[in-house]
């Protein structure tokens, strides 16, 4: 009997290397003769550049060359990702030429023999700025027009718009007994991966460029890089070394990556770059950065009849993926709820701040945070239990696709059960009893219980024929196998799971299956890893390639055994074909690979994205005298369909919950009114650690999707999406009886204290 390996807790085969010899990251790559590129970055948020004088830097020890924007002026600009939707006239030059638009914007490079020489020499570059007023606040950016905007040629600061504000219905909330409206902030955060950005580049004599870059998909990075360099992608090989975390922020390529490649060509020697933590916090795209006005209305008994969200998105100085984020927020605006009427509009604006990009969840956490805060505001106004209001408004379970008012096609879902399972696992009624007791006793430390229900989109993609991914599986004569995948792991454990999927079909042990990715010469096509697409598309492709390989092998085995292909039985236990009824007539896959290479490439096309869902319950204690909130428990249901490796899926949930809780509790990128960053080091940016979060309680629920043969949806971002509003709601809930209705994130002691004072509660 074949025992399935799928659904079992196979431990990560990646880890022995990481835990012993360590990974090999871009900055570890040895590149003989490489020079070092150091970026001179703008010290001011908005200014015309009068001049950049590199002459003193050129005299400094170890300096090989220095280049300014003028030297690169012939190169294309770094375009926004969705040129049809985002104003391309706001594209970023690779190095600023006439204007700088945020602190940290690269404007020149010094190239040196060693990295430290570059840091020293950069101080000698003299930049003469003609200061312009900085626009830091989104609302101010929206209202500005004329010559004082970031791009005077454009005449305003709007980089993208979604929906028509003038078409919002005046009567949307007519007939509602309860209507609440509030502007809430989904603050800007920093992805802060352990490994900062880096690049190494080398051109060969035939004019072919090899670029080593930590990224989320070598093929997409190749396309972006080739575009910025103005070269044919066929002359560019991108290699992905180990990647120390990315969280959405390493998709594609940044101007710095292109500049490093350009310098290598210009100087005729390899070039490399690795940024410091300070540069990373200034220069890597930030996440979130929305201001949302939510309005919700319904009946006194808790039935919501209308919901509206108006979004202002901060794109930062140059529109990147961040400008497009509201499209995803709008798509997921009503979340798992059956609101009879819903409207959403968004405007993205440029400001004199670091550009905003994709960050774990990218647009969906913002949708969930908005609607979950709105539900709680509505429940508080109506005097109802937030769990009861959710129960009353969730879509009932469905197994046939459900199309929302915003055009999302949810594949399958059972949101009510997710909520009930989470509430039961948390002991919701007991928690409410304890809360009531503390309130009655007037305890200094109050208890808050926060809920969130969510549905999110994973594996999006608008390719004709559905989102797709490819995989190649090859069996070798020694009985081992190799998988080539178009996905690109950086902590998600694809090596383990892709090997499990092939092992399940082929009977080859997991530790004899090698998985390769991230080399465009080896794997020219691939969608990379983002939007939690990898298992449902890339994993499904591995399954398909393995099965197709068995079909090829069956034909070969039939001729080897002089039998009818239909009479052969494949045993995974021995990884061999046997003639039915004649167990002695057998041939292993490995032997079939001896005569001729045995490999198959398959492309899996999904009918559409999938929509994982869940419910989170957070329990927090808030000190009403100091404003200090402590997260005590997080109980979650995160239904990602069939789980292939629970150990990895749980790991993804843990990481995601911690990141989401961090947004609610601690993290925020802050600029002063002049656009100076105030959180450009880990001394100021309060990166979450294990000390700030409890041990998470994960409840199981699996509702398979029919959109891929694995039944799997994505899990990589779910924890982040569900946890943020649950934690925020818990902190507000702790103080609800004192009149507090809302506290913007992060819910720092000062904010909590101020909210209490404003409500007239404690905190005296």
Candidate segments 203-211, 285-293, 641-649, 750-758, binder of ligand MCN by CB under 6 A: 641-649
Task: Answer yes or no whether residue 122 interacts with ligand MCN by CB under 6 A.
Answer: no
Residues in the chain: 764
Strand locations in 299-428, DSSP E?
A: 304-314, 341-349, 402-403, 409-410
Closest to ligand MCN by CB, 133 vs 245, is: 245
Task: Out of 494, 556, 591, 616, point to the residue binding ligand MCN (CB under 6 A).
Answer: 494
**Do 250 and 243 touch, CB atoms closer than 8 A?**
yes
The single residue listed with the structure tokens 């079992």 is 8
**Do 549 and 481 touch, CB atoms closer than 8 A?**
no
Closest to ligand MCN by CB, 75 vs 481, is: 481
Task: Answer yes or no whether residue 644 interacts with ligand MCN by CB under 6 A.
Answer: yes
CB of 647 to ligand MCN, least distance (A): 8
Q: Are strands 481-485 and 513-516 parallel, antiparallel or unpaired?
A: parallel
- Closest to 222 (Cα-Cα) out of 198, 248, 257, 196: 257
- Closest to 756 (Cα-Cα) out of 584, 624, 570: 624
The single residue listed with the structure tokens 């972006």 is 224
Closest to ligand MCN by CB, 210 vs 610, is: 610
The pair of three-digit structure tokens given for residue 703, joined into one six-digit string:
């509702």
Q: Is the dihedral of CA 581, 584, 585, 588 positive or negative?
A: positive
Closest to ligand MCN by CB, 362 vs 374, is: 362
Candidate segments 252-260, 380-388, 490-498, 504-512, binder of ligand MCN by CB under 6 A: 490-498
List, edge to edge, every strand of the sheet that includes 598-605: 513-516, 481-485, 468-475, 598-605
Strand locations in 427-522, DSSP E?
A: 445-455, 468-475, 481-485, 513-516
Closest to ligand MCN by CB, 654 vs 742, is: 654
Task: Answer yes or no whether residue 287 interacts with ligand MCN by CB under 6 A.
Answer: no
CB of 328 to ligand MCN, least distance (A): 12
CA of 278: how far to CAs of 121, 227, 281, 680, 683, in Å?
Answer: 18, 28, 5, 5, 10
Beta-carbon contacts of 638 under 8 Å, excluding residues fewer than 6 positions away, are: 612, 614, 653, 698, 701, 715, 718, 719, 722
Closest to ligand MCN by CB, 503 vs 576, is: 503
Task: Answer yes or no whether residue 643 interacts with ligand MCN by CB under 6 A.
Answer: yes
CB of 58 to ligand MCN, least distance (A): 39
Task: Answer yes or no whether residue 530 interacts with ligand MCN by CB under 6 A.
Answer: yes
Task: Answer yes or no whether residue 652 interacts with ligand MCN by CB under 6 A.
Answer: yes
Number of residues binding to ligand MCN, judged by CB under 6 A:
35
CB of 643 to ligand MCN, least distance (A): 4
Q: Is the dihedral of CA 671, 677, 679, 683 positive or negative?
A: negative
Strand locations in 219-260, DSSP E?
A: 236-239
Closest to ligand MCN by CB, 606 vs 715, is: 715
Task: Answer yes or no whether residue 540 interacts with ligand MCN by CB under 6 A.
Answer: no
Closest to ligand MCN by CB, 9 vs 757, is: 9
CB of 243 to ligand MCN, least distance (A): 8
Task: Answer yes or no whether residue 288 interacts with ligand MCN by CB under 6 A.
Answer: no
CB of 196 to ligand MCN, least distance (A): 13
Candidate segments 24-32, 221-229, 278-286, 639-647, binder of ligand MCN by CB under 6 A: 639-647
Candidate segments 144-152, 443-451, 487-495, 725-733, binder of ligand MCN by CB under 6 A: 487-495
Task: Answer yes or no whether residue 357 interacts with ligand MCN by CB under 6 A.
Answer: no
Calpha distance 498→517 (Å, rounded): 11
Integer-rounded Cα Rg, in Å, for the chain is 27
Beta-carbon contacts of 690 under 8 Å, excluding residues fewer than 6 positions away, are: 658
**Dihedrals φ, ψ of 190, to 5°?**
-110, 130
Candidate segments 245-253, 340-348, 478-486, 577-585, binder of ligand MCN by CB under 6 A: 245-253
Task: Answer yes or no whether residue 491 interacts with ligand MCN by CB under 6 A.
Answer: yes
The single residue listed with the structure tokens 């690049």 is 199
The single residue listed with the structure tokens 């002991």 is 427
Beta-carbon contacts of 382 under 8 Å, excluding residues fewer than 6 positions away, are: 178, 298, 300, 301, 302, 389
**Binding flags for ligand MCN, 188-227, as an x/- string (CB under 6 A):** ----------------------------------------
Closest to ligand MCN by CB, 426 vs 640, is: 640
Stated as kind and residue range, the H or E segment containing 297 is: strand 287-298
Candidate segments 29-37, 50-58, 299-307, 529-537, binder of ligand MCN by CB under 6 A: 529-537
Task: Answer yes or no whether residue 461 interacts with ligand MCN by CB under 6 A.
Answer: no
Task: Out of 355, 467, 655, 675, point to the residue binding ligand MCN (CB under 6 A).
Answer: 655
Closest to ligand MCN by CB, 118 vs 655, is: 655
Exposed / middle / buried, residue 504 (Cβ in 10 Å: 0-12, 13-18, 19+): buried
Candidate segments 265-273, 288-296, 526-534, 671-679, binder of ligand MCN by CB under 6 A: 526-534
CB of 532 to ligand MCN, least distance (A): 4
CB of 459 to ligand MCN, least distance (A): 8
Candidate segments 175-183, 298-306, 389-397, 638-646, binder of ligand MCN by CB under 6 A: 638-646
Task: Answer yes or no whether residue 531 interacts with ligand MCN by CB under 6 A.
Answer: yes
Candidate segments 241-249, 292-300, 506-514, 541-549, binder of ligand MCN by CB under 6 A: 241-249
Candidate segments 175-183, 258-266, 525-533, 668-676, binder of ligand MCN by CB under 6 A: 525-533
* Cα 704 to the center of its chain, rounded Å: 23
Closest to ligand MCN by CB, 117 vs 240, is: 240
Beta-carbon contacts of 130 under 8 Å, excluding residues fewer than 6 positions away, are: 47, 48, 49, 50
Angle, helices 415-426 vs 386-393, to 10°: value is: 160
| 435 CB neighbour count, 10 Å cutoff | 20
Closest to ligand MCN by CB, 264 vs 481, is: 481
Candidate segments 44-52, 204-212, 292-300, 635-643, binder of ligand MCN by CB under 6 A: 635-643
Task: Out of 69, 322, 660, 716, point to the residue binding ligand MCN (CB under 6 A).
Answer: 716
Calpha distance 514→512 (Å, rounded): 6
Closest to ligand MCN by CB, 492 vs 624, is: 492
Closest to ligand MCN by CB, 214 vs 627, is: 214
The single residue listed with the structure tokens 């409840």 is 699
Closest to ligand MCN by CB, 718 vs 734, is: 718
**Dihedrals φ, ψ of 364, to 5°?**
-80, -40
Task: Out of 39, 173, 247, 337, point to the residue binding ligand MCN (CB under 6 A).
Answer: 247
Task: Answer yes or no whether residue 490 interacts with ligand MCN by CB under 6 A.
Answer: yes
DSSP 151-203: STTT-B-EEEEES-GGGS-TTTTTT-SEEEEEEEEEEEE----SS--EEEEEE
Task: Answer yes or no whether residue 248 interacts with ligand MCN by CB under 6 A.
Answer: yes
- Closest to 347 (Cα-Cα) out of 183, 150, 159, 187: 159
Check residue 430 and give left, alpha or beta (phi > 0: left; psi -120 to 50: alpha).
alpha
Task: Out of 46, 222, 237, 360, point to the residue binding ligand MCN (CB under 6 A).
Answer: 360
Question: What are the residues binding ligand MCN (CB under 6 A)?
Answer: 245-248, 360, 490-494, 497, 529-535, 539, 640-645, 648-649, 652, 655, 712-717
């Amino acid at each position: 009997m074949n025992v399935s390996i799928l659904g079992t807790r196979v431990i990560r085969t990646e880890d022995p290397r990481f835990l012993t010899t360590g990974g090999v990251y871009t900055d570890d790559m040895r590149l003989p003769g490489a020079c070092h590129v150091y970026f001179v970055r703008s010290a001011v948020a908005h200014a015309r550049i009068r001049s950049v004088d590199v002459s003193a830097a050129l005299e400094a020890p170890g300096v090989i060359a220095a280049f300014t924007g003028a030297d690169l002026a012939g190169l294309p600009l770094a375009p926004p990702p969705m040129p049809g939707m985002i104003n391309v006239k706001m594209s970023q030059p690779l190095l600023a030429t006439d204007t700088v638009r945020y602190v940290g914007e690269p404007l020149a490079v010094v190239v040196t023999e060693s990295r430290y020489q570059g840091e020293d020499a950069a101080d000698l570059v003299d930049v003469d700025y003609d200061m312009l007023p900085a626009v830091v606040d989104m609302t101010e950016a929206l209202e500005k027009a004329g010559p004082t905007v970031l791009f005077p040629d454009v005449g305003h600061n709007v980089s993208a718009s979604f929906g028509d504000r003038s078409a919002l219905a005046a009567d949307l909330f007519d007939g509602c007994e309860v209507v609440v409206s509030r502007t809430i902030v989904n603050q800007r955060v920093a992805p802060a991966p352990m490994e900062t950005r880096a690049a190494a580049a080398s051109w060969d004599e035939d004019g072919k460029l090899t670029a080593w870059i930590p990224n989320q998909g070598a093929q997409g990075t190749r396309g972006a890089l080739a575009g910025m360099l103005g070269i044919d992608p066929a002359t560019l090989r991108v290699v992905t070394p180990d990647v120390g975390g990315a969280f959405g922020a390493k998709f594609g390529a940044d101007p710095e990556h292109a500049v490093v490649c350009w310098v290598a060509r210009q100087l005729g020697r390899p070039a490399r770059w690795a940024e410091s933590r300070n540069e990373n916090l200034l220069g890597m795209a930030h996440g979130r950065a929305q201001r949302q006005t939510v309005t919700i209305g319904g009946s006194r008994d808790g039935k919501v009849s209308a919901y509206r969200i108006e979004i202002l998105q901060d794109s930062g100085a140059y529109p990147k993926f961040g400008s497009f984020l509201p499209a995803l927020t709008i798509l997921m605006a009503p979340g798992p709820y059956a609101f009879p009427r819903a409207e959403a509009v968004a405007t993205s604006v440029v400001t004199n701040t670091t550009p905003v990009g994709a960050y774990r969840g990218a647009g969906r956490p913002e949708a969930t945070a908005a609607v979950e805060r709105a539900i709680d505001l509505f429940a508080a106004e109506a005097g109802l239990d937030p769990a009861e209001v959710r129960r009353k408004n969730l879509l009932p379970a469905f197994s046939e696709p459900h199309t929302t008012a915003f055009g999302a096609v949810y594949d399958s879902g059972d949101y009510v059960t997710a909520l009930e399972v989470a509430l039961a696992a948390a002991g919701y009624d007991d928690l409410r009893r304890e809360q009531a007791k503390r309130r009655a006793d007037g305890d200094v430390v109050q208890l808050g219980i926060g809920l969130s229900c969510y549905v999110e989109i994973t594996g999006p993609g608008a390719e004709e024929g559905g989102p797709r991914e490819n995989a190649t599986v090859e069996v070798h004569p020694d009985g081992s196998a190799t998988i080539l995948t178009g996905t690109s792991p950086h902590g998600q454990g694809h090596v383990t799971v892709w090997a499990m999927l092939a092992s399940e079909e082929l009977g080859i042990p997991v530790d004899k299956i090698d998985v390769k990715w991230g080399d465009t010469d080896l794997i020219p096509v691939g969608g990379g890893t983002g939007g939690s697409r990898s298992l449902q598309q890339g994993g499904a492709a591995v399954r398909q390639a393995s099965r197709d390989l068995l079909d090829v092998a069956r034909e070969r085995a039939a001729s080897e055994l002089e039998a009818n292909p239909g009479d052969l039985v494949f045993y995974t236990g021995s990884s061999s074909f046997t003639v039915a009824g004649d167990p002695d007539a057998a041939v292993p896959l490995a032997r079939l690979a001896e005569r001729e290479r045995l490999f198959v490439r398959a492309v899996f096309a999904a009918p559409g994205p999938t929509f994982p869902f869940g419910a989170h319950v957070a329990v927090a204690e808030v000190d009403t005298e100091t404003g200090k909130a402590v997260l005590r428990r997080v109980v979650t249901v995160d239904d990602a369909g069939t789980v292939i490796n629970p150990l990895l899926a749980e790991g993804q949930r843990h990481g995601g919950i911690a990141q989401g809780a961090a947004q609610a509790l601690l993290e925020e990128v802050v600029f002063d009114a002049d656009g100076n960053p105030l959180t450009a080091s880990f001394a100021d940016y309060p990166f979450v650690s294990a000390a700030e979060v409890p041990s998470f309680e994960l409840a199981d629920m699996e509702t398979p999707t029919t959109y891929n043969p694995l039944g799997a949806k994505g899990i990589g971002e779910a924890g982040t999406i569900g946890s943020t509003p649950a934690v925020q709601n818990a902190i507000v809930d702790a103080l609800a009886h004192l009149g507090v209705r809302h506290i913007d994130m992060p819910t720092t002691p000062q904010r909590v204290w101020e909210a209490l004072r404003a409500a007239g509660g404690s905190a005296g």
